[in-house]
Amino acid sequence: MDPRVSKTAGLIGILKLHHIDLKEIVTFGDADNDYDMTLNAGIGVVMVNGSDKTKSVADYITDDNDIDVDGTLLDYENKLPASADIAIKEARKNGHHVYIWNIGLDGMIGGNGSYVKDKDTVVMYQLITLEQCKHIVDWCHSRNLEFYLESNNGLFTSKNFEEKGNPVIKVYCQRKGKENASEQTVCTVFSEMIYGGELYRDDCNKVSFILNSYQDHLDSIKEFPDLKPGTWGGADEIALFGDLGVKGIDKAHAIDELLKYLGASLEDTFAFGDAKVDIPMLEYCNVGVAVNSGGDEIKAMADYVTDDVDKDGIYKAFVHFGLIDDVLNLC
């Protein structure tokens, strides 16, 4: 990345057009690449789970706002449907706790179950070690695999991920049944990706890489016996991505840890998902709900299949199970 390019430089360019001083604005950030912007803004706000470096210069630290696109709550344009927003607010008003993967509400669960947080308390946090991360990065580079590292400080990508990923993302969205799949890109689906950042990291939850062939996944199983290999974006040989995460961790385990912490009953749990990686979670919880755009495998095992997220699926499922009243008259 050109060292002259930064968020501050981009802001200054926009502000000059509108004759606004940098000290007159409020910025929001969470990662190391937000440091300069946060430092120079009139008021710099950083999320509580942001990097320590950026929080050190913040004027204000606020609650989490980690958003990750998975096709269950957010659509593939990074938008939260109004009905889903209302459903969550109504459910919480009715005394239900809502924990959504990578989105902070009553808490969050991330990294396919390696990170569990309830309000301001981190219940569980298991990471890929720095040595393991280095091994993955070097292995991907040696095989010309483009990849991104998932951490609570952001998504950090390899140099050519966007170029290699754009056609792959289009196929992924087509398989999900998105009407505008041909218009989707890495930037629209992963809008918060960080380019040019440090790739040898000690805060990594999971690594995903674009498969050149299914053999890349098979070889990753042999190469990384100390990690948990998987695929996503398609079943078996038609998978688009491989991934590597903390061994012995899945979403069901994360929910179990959260229930123990809360002293809550499994009988009161509902799980929503759309992918194969969500199946253990749906099997474990009392009621498992799949969205219609999900894979055939998860829809076959789900207790209930709801509409797609952009067709008010979350809201309709909440109403169906009596978690909220139908205040929008959609059911």
For residue 87, give its domain range. Answer: 82-125+250-320
pLDDT tens for 48-87 read 656 778 888 888 776 443 323 345 555 545 566 778 778 8
Domain boundary among 223, 246, 269: 246
Count of domains observed in the chain: 3
| 74 domain residue, yes or no | no
Whats the size of the chain, residue-wise? 331
Report the predicted TM-score, pTM, of the whole model to 2 decimal places: 0.62
Residue 94 in 3-state DSSP? coil
| 75 domain residue, yes or no | no
Domain boundary among 246, 280, 310: 246
| 20 domain residue, yes or no | yes
Task: Find out whether 42 and 22 touch, Cβ atoms under 8 Å.
Answer: yes
Q: CA–CA separation, 281 vs 190, rounded Å? A: 24
201/265 same-domain check: no
pLDDT tens for 97-156 read 776 655 546 777 777 778 787 877 888 888 999 999 999 999 999 999 999 999 878 889
Residue 178: beta bridge partners?
Answer: none
230-238's contacts with Cβ under 8 Å and 24+ in sequence apart are: 230/277, 232/208, 232/275, 232/276, 232/277, 233/168, 233/171, 233/172, 233/175, 234/175, 235/276, 235/295, 235/296, 235/297
Output the pLDDT for position 276. 83
Poorest-pLDDT segment among 45-49, 201-205, 294-298? 45-49
| 69 domain residue, yes or no | no
20/117 same-domain check: no
pLDDT tens for 199-226 read 999 999 999 999 999 999 999 999 999 9
